[in-house]
Structure 1
Amino acid sequence: MPAQFIIGVVCIIIGIAFGTLLFTIIHNAKNKQRAAEASNIIQQAQQEAQLIKSQAEGLISSAKKDADSIKREAASIKRDAEIEAKDEALRMRAQIEDERRERQQDIREAEMRIAQREESLDRRGDSLDEREHQISSTQRSLDKRKNDLDKVQEEVEQRLVDIAGMSAQQAKEELLASLKDDVAHESAQIIRSAEEKAKLEADKQARAILSVAIQRMAAEHTVENTVSIIHIPSDDVKGRIIGREGRNIRAFETLTGTNLIIDDTPECVTISCFEPVRRESGRVTMENLIADGRIHPARIEEMYEKAQELVNQRVIEAGEQAVFDVGIHDLHPELVHTLGKLRYRTSYGQNVLNHSLEVSYLCGILASELGLDPSNARRAGLLHDIGKAIDREQEGSHALLGGELARRFGEKDNIVHAIEAHHNEIEPDTVLDVLVQAADAISAARPGARRETLEAYIKRLEKLEEIANSYEGVNRTYAIQAGREVRVMVEPAQVSEDQTVVLAHDIAQRVENEMQYPGQVKVVVIRESRAVGVAK
């Protein structure tokens, strides 16, 4: 490579020299007076070229010598590398041979241990065979003794039958009857003792705490239905609301998702929908249309969009106000928005947002009376019915839906558990769970908080009496105090004094498991004995 480079340089130099010479010749050819001088210059150039050529040949020979020297060095380096590689291969082979010998030694030792274990297992197997033989002989001896004992037992049973004058089945039935009476008596004593002890320890304190909480709470409740009645200036407006061939009313119902009822009732129309937020949007839309006077499909759509924005703003404001009232400042915005929807939700005629606020206040008061942290209690009370805002959009109970919603937006596990357990959808296991249940019962069960239809009320009373009458020995049953107390009259000849306690406990448990009711139901079992004498 260096020789070629040098040759190239020489050629370039020669080319430059010849170019210069040619230019000089051409330039001087025009001038005849300088021809001789040009001839001298050409001779000088030839001499210089010959000198450069001889130098280039010297450089080429030197480059060849350097190349030969480099080849010899490369050959020497290659031989050294081959020698080192062979030495390394020998060292690796020796190392592998040492490892192989070590592994073979380990394998021989493992084989020796296995052989020793096999010998030990063989000895143990012989011992087990000997023990099995002994056990077999012992089993035969025990079977023989068992047969002897069975014969003796049969003789004893026959002798007992002869002495007692009754069969074994009759004796068993008599024994079970006596045990049943004893168990009923003892269970009645245990239940009565537990109830008396619980009442002595908890009734006074519970009454004091609940009375304080109730006295400190006084809230107004809004009673709403699933319909909204809108007053109109005159009945002439009804025709404009219906529109030509009913196009306005169809557009309104399709857009708002509500039912618009226009009947003979003077100066009013009715909007019906089970989804309260949609019903409120429809109500605001209709009121704005009546006030504006221009009723047609395009105007309905425009007014509905404005009504949706207004209702959504009211929902957010209601949620923010509720959160502010109970002193919670870190609730997720989506939970605040969902909570605000409860403003338009009712349950048994009770406004759910007002009910949630009341439960929140009650939980805080009860927690303070018990020496607990009231902030968590108020938070759980406020969110306990949040599932009612979405229970008409998703399948499931409002308690579980509310717990899932709260968990999704970062609420703590104890708050989520209290929401899910406030109707016993899951088992309550903390004080907070019980506080929410108690506050919910207080808010829902107090007079005036709720109202239900007459049909549902009558069915609830009939179900209470049906459960009580299904027990043996019950003579008459009366559901009194709006279904909050059941009085059960029993036959004194069929139900003993101790059995009345068990009967009251069983009826209460069945009512709790099979029925849904606000508050609590008291079960009173009355056993009355009368002796009648007639004087003639």
Structure 2
Amino acid sequence: MEIVIAAAVLAVGLMVAAALYARRGSGQAAAANERAAADVDAALRERRAEIVRIEERILGKEEALDAQRADLARRERSLDDRTEALEREVAAVAERRREYEQSLERLAGVTASQAKQMLLKDLEDEVRHESAKLIRQVEEETKREADRRVRNILSVVMQRIAAGHATETTVSVVQLASDDMKGRIIGREGRNIRALENLTGVDFIIDDTPNAVVLSGFDGVRRETARLTLEKLLQDGRIHPARIEEMYYQAKSELEEHVQELGEEAVFEAKVQGLDPELIKLLGRLKFRTSYGQNVLAHSVECANLAAMMAHELGASPKTARRAALLHDIGKAVSHEIEGPHALVGGDLARKYGEPEAVVHAMEAHHNEVEPQTVEAVIVQAADALSGARPGARGESLEQYVRRLRELEQIATRHDGVDKVYAMQAGREIRVMVSPTALDDDGATLLSHAIAREIERELEYPGQIKVTVIRESRAVEYAR
């Protein structure tokens, strides 16, 4: 490029010189032309010298580039040689690795894939063991924390539902022929109603409810006495304090006889002999007590019959089981008079009236206030749960009952290794039998945790559901 520029400059200078010679013909012009020509020659010489220098630099650069190309070619050949040597070394290393693995496989007696599977299996077992251990630890900590908080939660729940429950279980209604009777029941300045409430210990509520008087009290026997008293007064028509007192003691006497008859009927139906008369009377009082809508006396008779059947099947004592099941809720007959859990109160009453210690223990253990130590105690627990869980016993429809059991069993059976599933206690407990060859102890712990979490996510239910996973292996042989 620099050579082309220099040639162009030289051509321009020659053209200028020719023009100057053509225009100037005089002597002075000739002198000026000579000077101009000298200047042009000097410029041309400088340009030539510069062109020579440029050519020399270009030649030097070309030589340097040639040298660099030669050097790059040598380096490329060297890299190729090194690459080939490295590939040969890699192939040799791979061959030695295969030989080493083959030697290890021969020594260990397993292939590499088998060794990998064994390692993964050991790692999986270790992880499962650690996770099961962690789950047990977390569950224990959660249970301890829950025990600390459950009292506060229960107190709030009891506060919210106590009013509704009391309305359902502590009220009796007496129908009146007309609302005019309300004034006669109240009496002059309220003397009649005060006499009724003082004698019976029950509140008489006379409000805007048409043709009805509401009797409110926690003691079912007292409430029944008050109802009979009021009905007798309404039939007689004479309502004054003296007549009220007379009718009250008459109703009380009749109710005591009725209670005794109810207790004797229950004892006869349950096929229990030799009970103390006081225990029979307490049994009769259970006729006026309900538990979740279920009559406690009918529940006790049911439990006695169920316990006897189970005891026969299991080879236990039907007499002890029947007797304990009939009396297991007798503490509820005096729950308004004696403080404490009804199971322990009932046990104290049975002991007081000469019941055997085996019967007393089964009564006290039916809600785990004491640890069950006998087969009969466990049978009473089962009979109590069965009677309460019977469809319709406590206001639950058959469809809801069956659907809950079916859903529980479906959730458990979808897991691998599950052999049989039993939903028990109206769906409050589920027992899962697993194959001992499919799951180990840690796997059983993880399975119970997984089933419980799935039940929490998929079902709605009151209270809690106990999930028990049972893993049992048996070896049977015959001596001939």
For normalisation by structure 2, the TM-score amounts to 0.52
2:180 aligned residue? 236
Quote how far apart the aligned CAs of 1:506 are: 8.2
Question: Is the alpha carbon distance of 1:356 and 1:504 closer, same or farther for their aligned partners in structure 2, counting shifts above 3 Å?
Answer: farther
Does residue 430 in structure 1 map to residue 405 in structure 2? no
Q: Provide the C-alpha distance between the structure 1 equivalents of 2:289 and 2:311, rounded to a whole number of angstroms.
A: 27
Quote how far apart the aligned CAs of 1:523 are: 4.8
Secondary structure of the corresponding residue to residue 449 of structure 2: helix
Quote how far apart the aligned CAs of 1:377 are: 1.3
**8 Å contact from structure 2 (residues 316, 375) kept in 1:** no
**Can you list the C-alpha shifts for 1:40-82, whole angstroms capped at 9, x where unaligned?**
xxxxxxxxxxxxxxxxxxxxxxxxxxxxxxxxxxxxxxxxxxx
2:447 aligned residue? 501
The one of 264, 267, 281 equivalent to 1:337 is: 281
2:354 aligned residue? 410
**8 Å contact from structure 2 (residues 448, 467) kept in 1:** no
**Can you list the C-alpha shifts for 1:112-152, whole angstroms capped at 9, x where unaligned?**
xxxxxxxxxxxxxxxxxxxxxxxxxxxxxxxxxxxxxxxxx
The one of 247, 258, 265 equivalent to 1:314 is: 258
Question: Is the alpha carbon distance of 1:376 and 1:245 closer, same or farther for their aligned partners in structure 2, counting shifts above 3 Å?
Answer: same
Quote how far apart the aligned CAs of 1:410 are: 0.7
Q: Provide the C-alpha distance between the structure 2 equivalents of 1:265 and 1:187, rounded to a whole number of angstroms.
A: 62
Quote how far apart the aligned CAs of 1:323 are: 1.0
**8 Å contact from structure 1 (residues 403, 416) kept in 2:** yes
Question: Is the alpha carbon distance of 1:428 and 1:499 closer, same or farther for their aligned partners in structure 2, counting shifts above 3 Å?
Answer: closer
Secondary structure of the corresponding residue to residue 244 of structure 2: helix
Q: In the alignment, residue 501 of structure 1 is paired with which amino acid?
A: L
Q: In the alignment, residue 294 of structure 2 is paired with which amino acid?
A: Q
Quote how far apart the aligned CAs of 1:178 are: 9.9
**Can you list the C-alpha shifts for 1:352-391, whole angstroms capped at 9, x where unaligned?**
0000000001001111222333222111110010111011
Q: Provide the C-alpha distance between the structure 2 equivalents of 1:264 and 1:380, rounded to a whole number of angstroms.
A: 47
1:125 aligned residue? none
Does residue 358 in structure 1 map to residue 298 in structure 2? no
The one of 170, 179, 194 equivalent to 1:250 is: 194
Quote how far apart the aligned CAs of 1:292 are: 0.6
Quote how far apart the aligned CAs of 1:333 are: 1.0
Secondary structure of the corresponding residue to residue 381 of structure 1: helix
Matches within 5 A, 1:92-131: none
**8 Å contact from structure 2 (residues 233, 247) kept in 1:** yes
Which has the higher relative contact order, 1 or 2, with Cα contacts under 8 A spaced 6 or more apart?
A: 1
Q: Provide the C-alpha distance between the structure 2 equivalents of 1:353 and 1:482, rounded to a whole number of angstroms.
A: 21
1:450 aligned residue? 394
Q: Provide the C-alpha distance between the structure 2 equivalents of 1:483 and 1:325, rounded to a whole number of angstroms.
A: 29
Q: Provide the C-alpha distance between the structure 1 equivalents of 2:252 and 2:129, rounded to a whole number of angstroms.
A: 66
1:183 aligned residue? 129
Question: Is the alpha carbon distance of 1:421 and 1:522 closer, same or farther for their aligned partners in structure 2, counting shifts above 3 Å?
Answer: closer
Q: In the alignment, residue 245 of structure 1 is paired with which amino acid?
A: E
Q: In the alignment, residue 503 of structure 1 is paired with which amino acid?
A: H
1:21 aligned residue? none
Quote how far apart the aligned CAs of 1:226 are: 1.5
Question: Is the alpha carbon distance of 1:331 and 1:498 closer, same or farther for their aligned partners in structure 2, counting shifts above 3 Å?
Answer: closer
Q: Provide the C-alpha distance between the structure 2 equivalents of 1:387 and 1:307, rounded to a whole number of angstroms.
A: 25
Quote how far apart the aligned CAs of 1:181 are: 2.9
Quote how far apart the aligned CAs of 1:451 are: 4.0
**8 Å contact from structure 2 (residues 328, 343) kept in 1:** yes
Question: Is the alpha carbon distance of 1:521 and 1:506 closer, same or farther for their aligned partners in structure 2, counting shifts above 3 Å?
Answer: closer
Q: Provide the C-alpha distance between the structure 2 equivalents of 1:362 and 1:342, rounded to a whole number of angstroms.
A: 19
Question: Is the alpha carbon distance of 1:516 and 1:277 closer, same or farther for their aligned partners in structure 2, counting shifts above 3 Å?
Answer: farther
**8 Å contact from structure 1 (residues 251, 297) kept in 2:** yes
**8 Å contact from structure 1 (residues 260, 269) kept in 2:** yes
1:270 aligned residue? 214
Quote how far apart the aligned CAs of 1:248 are: 0.8
Compute the RMSD of aligned alpha carbons: 3.6
Q: In the alignment, residue 343 of structure 1 is paired with which amino acid?
A: K
2:203 aligned residue? 259
**Can you list the C-alpha shifts for 1:164-206, whole angstroms capped at 9, x where unaligned?**
xxxxxxxxxxxxx999735346769x9xxxxxxxxxxxxxxxx
Question: Is there any run of 5+ residues in structure 2 with no aligned partner, and where?
Answer: 1-122, 137-167, 397-424, 431-441, 470-480
Question: Is the alpha carbon distance of 1:482 and 1:325 closer, same or farther for their aligned partners in structure 2, counting shifts above 3 Å?
Answer: closer
Question: Is the alpha carbon distance of 1:371 and 1:516 closer, same or farther for their aligned partners in structure 2, counting shifts above 3 Å?
Answer: farther
Question: Is the alpha carbon distance of 1:391 and 1:483 closer, same or farther for their aligned partners in structure 2, counting shifts above 3 Å?
Answer: same
Q: Provide the C-alpha distance between the structure 1 equivalents of 2:368 and 2:180, rounded to a whole number of angstroms.
A: 54
Matches within 5 A, 1:84-163: none
Secondary structure of the corresponding residue to residue 271 of structure 1: strand
Secondary structure of the corresponding residue to residue 169 of structure 2: coil
Q: Provide the C-alpha distance between the structure 1 equivalents of 2:351 and 2:451, rounded to a whole number of angstroms.
A: 37
Q: In the alignment, residue 352 of structure 2 is paired with which amino acid?
A: R
Q: Provide the C-alpha distance between the structure 1 equivalents of 2:429 and 2:332, rounded to a whole number of angstroms.
A: 29
Question: Is the alpha carbon distance of 1:266 and 1:364 closer, same or farther for their aligned partners in structure 2, counting shifts above 3 Å?
Answer: same
Quote how far apart the aligned CAs of 1:484 are: 4.5
1:392 aligned residue? 336
Secondary structure of the corresponding residue to residue 410 of structure 1: coil
1:279 aligned residue? 223
Quote how far apart the aligned CAs of 1:245 are: 1.2
**Can you list the C-alpha shifts for 1:383-440, whole angstroms capped at 9, x where unaligned?**
0101110111111000000001001111101100000000000000110010000000
Question: Is the alpha carbon distance of 1:330 and 1:271 closer, same or farther for their aligned partners in structure 2, counting shifts above 3 Å?
Answer: same
Question: Is the alpha carbon distance of 1:417 and 1:438 closer, same or farther for their aligned partners in structure 2, counting shifts above 3 Å?
Answer: same
**8 Å contact from structure 1 (residues 504, 524) kept in 2:** no
Does residue 325 in structure 1 map to residue 269 in structure 2? yes
Q: Provide the C-alpha distance between the structure 2 equivalents of 1:403 and 1:264, rounded to a whole number of angstroms.
A: 45
Question: Is the alpha carbon distance of 1:179 and 1:387 closer, same or farther for their aligned partners in structure 2, counting shifts above 3 Å?
Answer: same
Question: Is the alpha carbon distance of 1:321 and 1:498 closer, same or farther for their aligned partners in structure 2, counting shifts above 3 Å?
Answer: closer
Does residue 227 in structure 1 map to residue 171 in structure 2? yes
Question: Is the alpha carbon distance of 1:373 and 1:483 closer, same or farther for their aligned partners in structure 2, counting shifts above 3 Å?
Answer: closer
1:420 aligned residue? 364
Seq. identity, %: 56
Matches within 5 A, 1:16-95: none
Q: Provide the C-alpha distance between the structure 1 equivalents of 2:445 and 2:369, rounded to a whole number of angstroms.
A: 32
Secondary structure of the corresponding residue to residue 238 of structure 2: coil
